[in-house]
Structure 1
């Protein structure tokens, strides 16, 4: 049996599900793109190739092996995008929560049945159908659960709005003793650098009391200010619009001191090392073309 335990984003990682990219299928049609960044690359003819993305994910698997992290992989489904394992489910404490994601992606959860079957069935939770949620929007942080959402009445019009207020309320019901703090994120179906697809696209808490944040990703200034106050202004690394577009906030912590980051994030990686972090650099620029990065491709199951 897998004894789940995740209470934050940074405690020492022991077991994780890592996505796969070996049979992504043909380049999607433009009208089938899930996000504006993928659409950009479909138009430009620069959509990532499977073999390049496989190399990138293998580089992360090597880092996990170096730190003795147990890695589970989804079973391969032919011609199906299975890169972003964070979207399909997430763990809070000892509960495995199956996300409500876009219908087109529903097979992804079947590909990790072999993992779910090793979890106590009473700990596996499905959300009600009208409560939409994806793991990229959910961050357990001690007594808090931070959740990215979109408050607007036009929620239905945004393919980029993945977590709704019904889901935020349902999370609060599931964890009544935690403070569920929601953040209204900026959404755009057409302009990638104006779109915070998930909370981890514009914010990420790190070890040592630090955090990465992109102010313009938040629609309500008070909510952004709340986070800056919570972590302390001097502890926040503010990323630019271009850095957000390149997914600089979407790094992944193996422990309070060790972070996996993209090798081209020069300004961020320099700052992280100045703060005393060990930075494990990997190439991930091809995967980034689909508006997801390191946190999106990993789903922690056990942290100490």
Structure 2
């Protein structure tokens, strides 16, 4: 079965990303503003290198983070699926843009029984769906579900700071709350045209799509808002240019600063409405979550967070329902 009811329903089957990244030979600095200064410096100093060659010790730690997360997920009966590794041909085809196979959340996403391939804005992520296609072919195709792809983004000049009109729609911007779907737009990832496409597609299935404009240093909506259970969220209010969506105004809030949001404080992973996974770096937040009677599991995800993503970013549910 393929179905995602909302962000905190019981997680039963999930895709967990691999740990592969190739530094671009010609980095676009305007697209790196969401990263820590140290990560930007690494990008500039290691142009064209594979991360595992530039930082072998960190590569091992990065891979171990995923293994530690798998152990926690399996403890709660979650089936974990892994994409394949990038092929040499795929790495070579990326050219000067670099390549990635590290955040399964963004190149595709699941809303209800709809599996949707997104349209990525960053040039090094345009082909990130390919390692996941084997899972789609073996798991999604046989199921009684909908499988579609967003329109391919137009090709523009590399020096175009906007990278064109898209459409761009990425899973990290998409939060599902039953028949309500929130989509972020900071100028770094999903854009207005991509959100309009998603709204048009989902309308006939009874979904309402609402855009949330975000601070320009926030990559995705899940870097500003995390739904922990019905009526409880972790949120960075300063990240919302027009305020928190009206339908969430009555929810109880665990507030984080813009600085905390940029290091992924909101990007934990609910296993269910009773269990939540976060990084020990956010124990202050974890303690507040635990005060609501929710069990908090801690996994060190520091290397993953250095790339600008955390637990939600590296996972994409195929079955999450109560």
TM-score in terms of structure 1 length: 0.85
**CA distance, structure 2, for counterparts of residue 140 and residue 178 of structure 1:** 10
Pairing partner for 2:61 from 38, 52, 64? 52
| Residue matched to 1:35 | 32
Within 5 Å, give how 1:211-250 maps onto structure 2: 211-221=233-243, 224=244, 226=246, 228-231=248-251, 235-250=252-267
RMSD: 2.2
For residue 115 of structure 1, the aligned residue among 119, 135, 146 is 135
Q: Kindly indicate whether the alpha-carbon contact (under 8 Å) linking 2:118 and 2:168 is maintained by their aligned counterparts in 1.
A: yes
In structure 2, the residue matched to 1:276 is 293
- Measured in 1, the distance between the counterparts of 2:77 and 2:248 equals 34
Distance (Å, rounded) in 1 between the aligned partners of 2:201 and 2:220: 21
Distance in 2 of aligned mates of 1:42 and 1:197: 15
1:259-282 per-residue CA deviation (whole Å, 9 max, x = no partner) reads 110011021011011111111100
Determine the structure 2 residue equivalent to 1:196: 218
CA distance in 2, matches of 1:77, 1:207: 35
* Distance change >3 Å, CA 278–CA 29, structure 1 → 2: farther
SS in 2 for 1:112: helix
- Report SS of the residue matched to 1:292: coil
User: Post-superposition shift, 1:242?
Assistant: 2.6
TM-score, reference length from structure 2: 0.80
Aligned length: 279
- Residue 210 of structure 1 deviates from its aligned partner by 0.4
Is 1:5–1:94's contact at 8 Å kept on the other side of the alignment? yes
**Post-superposition, which runs of at least 4 consecutive aligned residues in structure 1 deviate over 4 A?**
27-30, 44-48
Structure 2: any 5+ residue segments left out of the alignment? 92-98, 153-165
Gaps of 5+ in 1: 156-160, 188-194
Residue matched to 1:257: 274
Larger deviation, residues 28-37 vs 39-48 = 39-48
